[in-house]
Chains A and B, each alone.
Chain A
Amino acid sequence: MKIHNLSRRRFLQGSAAVGASGLLLGCGDSLPRKTVTSGATAPTGEMHEWLFIGTDNTIIMTNPQTEMGQGVNTSLPQLLAEELDADWQTLQVRQAPLDSKFNSTMMAQMTGGSLAVQNYYHTLRAIGAGARQMILKAAAAQLGTNVSQLSTRNAQVIYQQQSYPYGQFADAAASLPVPDMEQLTYKKPSNYTLIGKPLPHRDTLDRITGKAQFGIDVQVPNLLNAAIIHAPVFGTRPIQWNEQAALAVKGVKKVIPMEHALMVVAEKYWQAKKAINLLQARFSAYDSDLPGLNSEEIEQAYEAALNDEGRAKIDAAHIIDVEYMVPFLAHATMEPMNATAWVQADRVDLWIPSQSQTIAASHTKAITGFDDQQIHIHNTLMGGGFGRRGEGDFVAEAVIASMVMQQPVKVIWSREEDIQHDMYRPAVISRFQVGLDTHFKPVAWHNQLVSSSVLRRLIPTFTPDFLDWVATPLTYMMGDMIVTDGATRSAYLADDKQPQTTALIVDTNVPVGPWRSVSFSSNCFFTESVIDEAALLAQQDPYQYRSNLMQQTPREKAVLDAVAQYANWGETPAGQFQGIAVAFAFQSYTAMVVDIGLVDHIITIHKVTCAVDCGKVINPNGARAQLEGGINFALSAAMFGEITIADGHVVQGNFHDYPQLRLAQSPVIDVFLVPSGDQPTGLGEVGVPPLAPALCNALAAAGQPRIRSLPLSNHGYQLA
């Protein structure tokens, strides 16, 4: 990795009054991305470099990842600010504009995969350390001393008990050679004041006073507002609508027919929304060759694929032959999809709550023909993401609306549109043939998974246009390794008996996409339920059974043992039951115990205990928040989450029929961080996978029939 000094290039900062000179640092590294080839000039206030230290002591960091509630506006600045010795209170953090130098290891500007801290742990610390070293060198020269006589604190150089703000040395530092990456010195962890500290989220005050600006709050001059209805059946088209009725509504400017949807543009959103209900639109009939007319048809197609594949023939003392199933799920972010675009003759500005500048830009390019330099992305805060906002569909609609209107337009989806036109967590059927020896130890593990393919839909959106002709066919050749995430490796099996897992891809007419924890959300439910079935068949304690089998996975065993200890496993009062589950996902290890009470079919969750080894923890406060949130997110899905299809469209439409957990139903959650090593691993999604199996395993412990499909509401269960 190499740090670049860009200070001599012009740096302008549009909105705030910041000195235009100072130290500007960029950074390249060994990832397959060439960085710092463009200048740092941006009349709209975009900052295309990682760090700016102004002569007036303004310090600005560009955040390469986008903030959706997962806390990257806090955790990532902690990394840079720690090594820079910045002032935490005055440090400014901006979201990255469109620029491939900020790419993650997904080879795109994409916030997802629980990768934020893992990806930027070295880069951001290196930039902080490098800048500090340059400031110190400049300070030593100005103060006529050696670097060894200087120390730093809160963006100040300290020399002989005197404090000198960094800004005083920024210009001089800018003319110094950039230190070699290999020669950077980093703080000793024992001297950390930010890394590892449970700092509150930097945005909290704005978020409790109504000042936080989400995509839906964007205001720009001459802004028009649009409502949208999509053809209810995926892949169909509007064929007839009453344009006059809509245009008669005060404030309405235009009805824009699109291939897949109708938009009404008005001065105010409410006018557009009122008018769109008057369109009385009719849409073309279901005309896909793929299954998708209804949920039953999809299930039959899945079953047909399983029948074609057949079962593995195994020879064992005991055989578990079972089939599991999970439904489609919508993301239902609290902030419905929206985007604001302004297309002008030579540029487009996007104000978007997006997890991916790259995906937003690729859609924009396809529509406008503009290149990267003409696309200016102003990422707003997001009212939740969970994977949904890594898509570009909602951005494309705003771009089209602005092109038609030749004015800035904000398109806001209704909740119904948001739930009925999602990219869903795929429905999955998972069949197992597991062989146990005479001691009930698993010795054969065969798993046939049927799912539609998230990867197959995503790959074309990631590939450059000129590769389109090869990208899609390629997905048919290479299969989908995402489908089997969490199903190909088992801590319970010896190395030579690892799972024989086959992914059977069935394309359906229902669009699918990444949903917090992606395939781990389903595969952990399957595998951790099946191993629980084995434990119960063996009449062994489900925790002891698991722990005894874990001979070669010390970190997995450590979180399992830890959670059992913290949850007082096996010491429940009468009438309470415990279930346990463990997952290895996003390079982290997570184990959970769920304590329940059960009266008739009403479940009281007394407690969820969670132990996590996510390597080095950067912010324990944010880490706990992500685990608490992940558990509640997973509990909603396990209890009530289900998207069904009828007549080709999604049946559910709002929170009355796609219910979510509420405060009175939310369990007590005890989170225990079990750190290990000196590298951070994934966190944002790891709270999700073990919850459903731990809960269902608790029901099995209560003597209930084994739950092999979700949600639990379909089996008559409710939350107290």
Chain B
Amino acid sequence: MLTLNINGENLRLEVDADTPLLWAIREEAGLTGTKFGCDIGQCGACTVLINGNAVRSCTITASAVQGMAIETIESLASDGTLNAVQQAWLEYDVPQCGYCQSGQIMAATAMVRRAKIAGQTIPEVPLAQLDNICRCGTYNRIRPALNRAFDLAYEA
């Protein structure tokens, strides 16, 4: 048993110390928006935010992140309002199959928040930071959507 703070809630979860955060989130917290893709931190489908940083949840154990703030895709829209990245993804109709998009959106959310704090604009942010794999090849929409997300975040 351990306690994880997921999406602002402290959850007592029945997981062993060596259970990866990904599977604690999916199987114990029941939040299936975070996806399993590779188990070795390569693809990014399992990306969540831990204390605001994008982390591939397959590569870290649940016990290692006790007491930290974990955010998953389910938490981004509040009161029916999408966050800046989701809103931009909607406007550019980014997803095809959508399986990687939770991870893409979480990673992009971390980029946008960090840039805003640092006062950076998008040309100052290397695109290579968003290196999650999309097999449907939605990159041509992710690129303008990311720009739009920066604009929306700065407007907010």
With A216-B35, A628-B140, A629-B137 known as contacts, the answer to whether A210 contacts B40 (CB < 8 A) is no
Q: Does B100 contact A (CB under 8 A)?
A: yes
Residue of chain B at shortest CB distance from A217: B32
A662 at the interface (CB under 8 A from B): yes
Segment at the interface with B among A328-336, A369-377, A440-448: A328-336
B40 contacts which chain A residues (CB < 8 A)?
Answer: 415, 654-656
Asked whether A621 and B31 contact (CB < 8 A) given A210-B72, A628-B141, the answer is: no
Interface residues of A in 250-276 (CB under 8 A from B): 250, 268-270, 273-274
Known: A625-B93, A661-B137. A210 touches B45 (CB 8 A): no
Mark each residue of chain B from 63 to 93: 1 if its CB lies under 8 Å from any CB of chain A, else 0. Answer: 0000000001110110000100010011001
CB contact under 8 A between A335 and B35, given known A204-B93, A208-B89, A664-B127: yes
A212 to B97, CA, bound (A): 10
| Binary contact readout B92-127 vs A (1 if CB under 8 angstroms, 0 otherwise) | 011111111110010000000000000000000011
Counting CB contacts under 8 A, is A383 at the interface?
yes
Identify the closest chain B residue to A69 (Cβ): B97
Task: Kindly state whether residue A386 has any CB partner on chain B within 8 Å.
Answer: yes
B49: Cβ under 8 A from any A Cβ? no
How far does the Cβ of A109 sit from chain B's closest Cβ, in whole Å? Answer: 19
Cβ proximity bits A84-121 to B, threshold 8 Å, 1 near / 0 not: 00000000000000000000000000000000000000
Chain A residues closer than 8 Å to B31, beta-carbon distance:
210
Which interface residue of A385, A412, A414, A415 has the most chain B CB atoms within 10 A? A415
Asked if B138 and A625 sit within 8 Å, CB to CB, the answer is: yes
Which of B23, B34, B43, B94 touches A210 (beta carbons < 8 Å)?
Answer: B34
Which residue of chain B is the closest to A419 with respect to CB atoms? B38
A635 to B150, CA, bound (A): 28
B37 in the interface (beta carbon within 8 A): yes
B residues near A356, Cβ cutoff 8 Å? none
Counting chain B CB atoms within 10 Å of each CB, which of A206, A333, A629, A654 scores highest?
Answer: A629
CA distance in complex: A383, B32 (Å):
13
> What residues of chain B lie closer than 8 Å to A270, measured between beta carbons?
19-20, 23, 27
A382 in the interface, Cβ–Cβ < 8 Å? yes
Contact with B along A197-228 (1 / 0, CB 8 A): 00011011111111111101101000001000
The answer to whether B32 and A334 have CB atoms under 8 Å apart is no
The answer to whether B97 touches A382, judged by C-beta atoms less than 8 angstroms apart, is: yes
With beta carbons under 8 angstroms apart, the residue of B97, B127, B141 that contacts A335 is B97
Chain B residues with CB under 8 A of A668: 140
Assuming the contacts A628-B141, A633-B137, asked whether A383 and B99 have C-beta atoms less than 8 A apart, the reply is yes
B42 at the interface (CB under 8 A from A): yes
Q: Which residue of B lies closest to A268 (CB)?
A: B27
Expressed in whole angstroms, the minimum distance between the Cβ of A313 and any Cβ of chain B is 44
Across the interface, A662 reaches (CB within 8 A) one of B30, B76, B96, B133, namely B133
A666 at the interface (CB under 8 A from B): yes
A669 an interface residue at 8 Å Cβ cutoff?
A: yes
Check B29 for interface membership: any CB of A closer than 8 A: no
When the two chains form their complex, are residues B76 and A664 in contact, meaning their CB atoms are under 8 A apart? no
- Residues of chain A within 8 A of B95, CB atoms compared: 69, 201, 203-204, 207-208
In the bound complex, CA of A49 to CA of B111 (Å): 47
- Bound together, the chains give a CA A309 to CA B72 distance in angstroms of 59
B93 touches A628 (CB 8 A): no
Contact with B38, one of A217, A273, A415, A661 (Cβ below 8 angstroms): A415
Contact of B23 (CB < 8 Å), options: A206, A212, A268, A381: A268
A214 to B100, CA, bound (A): 11
B11-66, CB < 8 A from A: 16, 18-20, 23, 26-28, 30-40, 42-43, 45
Residues of A contacting B: mostly = loop
Contact B135 A386 (CB under 8 A): yes
Kindly state the separation between the CA atoms of A666 and B130 in the bound complex, as whole angstroms: 12
Task: Kindly state whether residue A660 has any CB partner on chain B within 8 Å.
Answer: yes
A213 to B76, CA, bound (A): 18
Hey, which chain B residues are within 8 Å of A217, CB to CB? 32
A335 to B103, CA, bound (A): 13
A269 and B23 form a contact (CB under 8 A): yes
**Contacts A209-B86, A655-B42 hold; do A412 and B133 have CB atoms under 8 A apart?**
no
Q: Which residues of B have CB within 8 Å of A206? A: 98
Q: How long is the Cα–Cα vector from A71 to B132 in the complex, in angstroms?
A: 22
Q: Contacts of A209 on B, CB cut-off 8 Å? A: 33, 73-74, 76-77, 82, 86
Q: Is B4 an interface residue (CB 8 A)?
A: no
What's the nearest-Cβ distance from chain A to residue B24, in Å?
8
Complex alpha-carbon distance, A201 and B93, angstroms: 7
- B136 close to chain A: CB less than 8 A: yes
26 contacts between A and B (CB under 8 A): A68-B97, A201-B95, A201-B96, A204-B93, A207-B101, A208-B101, A209-B73, A209-B82, A211-B33, A214-B35, A270-B19, A382-B97, A384-B135, A385-B97, A625-B93, A628-B140, A628-B141, A632-B137, A654-B38, A662-B128, A662-B133, A663-B127, A663-B128, A663-B131, A664-B127, A664-B128
Query: Which 6 residue pairs of A and B lie closest in terms of their CB atoms, listed nearest first?
Result: A210-B33, A632-B137, A69-B97, A383-B99, A207-B98, A666-B139
| A-B contact sample (17 more), CB < 8 A, given A207-B101, A209-B73, A210-B102 | A68-B97, A70-B96, A207-B98, A208-B95, A211-B33, A212-B98, A219-B30, A333-B97, A334-B99, A335-B99, A336-B36, A383-B99, A415-B43, A625-B138, A625-B141, A629-B137, A663-B139
